[in-house]
Amino acid sequence: MREVIQIETDKQNGLYDITEEVRHIVKNSKVPEGVVNIYVQGATAGIMIQESWDQSVQNDVVNLLKKLIPAGVWEHDMQDNNGDAHLKAGLVGPGETVPLINGEMGLSTWQNIFLCEFDGPRTKRTIVVTVIKDS
């Protein structure tokens, strides 16, 4: 089963919690055991599983990546001034896979699924959610 989530982002760099949207898709799939894959389309965004207790960890992720990969110093910036966004997305990666256990995602208490925006704001980010049943 495959469904698409589309969200709008309002920051150049930010994490957006999409856990409930993915949980809804998993529930509707009625798949008891298997995996769910969450994949963002685009070369300047990523998917990350991270703590969701408060905004501090999400802010720390954004600030760490800004320090590791600063804006405005990359060869690709001569094309469209977003070289850092491509590098951040490559480091984080475009997707995550989560096991399904008794029809629910096998996330721990503090884990949530985040879209990582590195080249926003965007009117539309497309996330492909694929649920695969164990055979």
For residue 85, the one-letter residue type is A
Q: What local confidence, expressed as pLDDT, does residue 60 receive?
A: 97
What is the average per-residue pLDDT within 55-75?
96
In three-state form (DSSP H/G/I as H, E/B as E, the rest C), the secondary structure along the chain is: CEEEEEEEECCCCEEEECHHHHHHHHHHHCCCCEEEEEEECCCCEEEEEEECCCHHHHHHHHHHHHHHCCCCCCCCHHHHCCHHHHHHHHHHCCEEEEEEECCEECCCCCEEEEEEECCCCEEEEEEEEEEEECC
Q: What local confidence, expressed as pLDDT, does residue 89 receive?
A: 98
Asked whether residue 119 carries a pLDDT value surpassing 90, the answer given is yes
Closest CA to 106 of 97, 116, 119, 117: 97
Closest CA to 26 of 118, 83, 105: 105
What is the average per-residue pLDDT within 55-77?
96
What mean pLDDT value characterizes the chain?
Answer: 97
Burial 47-84 (b: 16+ CB within 10 A, else e): bbbbbbeeeeebeebbeebeeebebeebeeeeeeebbb
Express as a percent the part of the chain with pLDDT over 70: 100
**Residue 92: band (very low, low, confident or very high) from pLDDT cuts 50, 70, 90:** very high
Q: What local confidence, expressed as pLDDT, does residue 94 receive?
A: 98
Residue pLDDT, tens place only, 17-33: 999 999 999 999 999 99
Domain boundaries, the chain: 2-133
Q: What local confidence, expressed as pLDDT, does residue 133 receive?
A: 98
**Residue 1: band (very low, low, confident or very high) from pLDDT cuts 50, 70, 90:** very high
Q: What local confidence, expressed as pLDDT, does residue 101 receive?
A: 98
Q: What is the pTM of this model?
A: 0.96
Q: What local confidence, expressed as pLDDT, does residue 135 receive?
A: 84
Class of domain 2-133: mainly beta
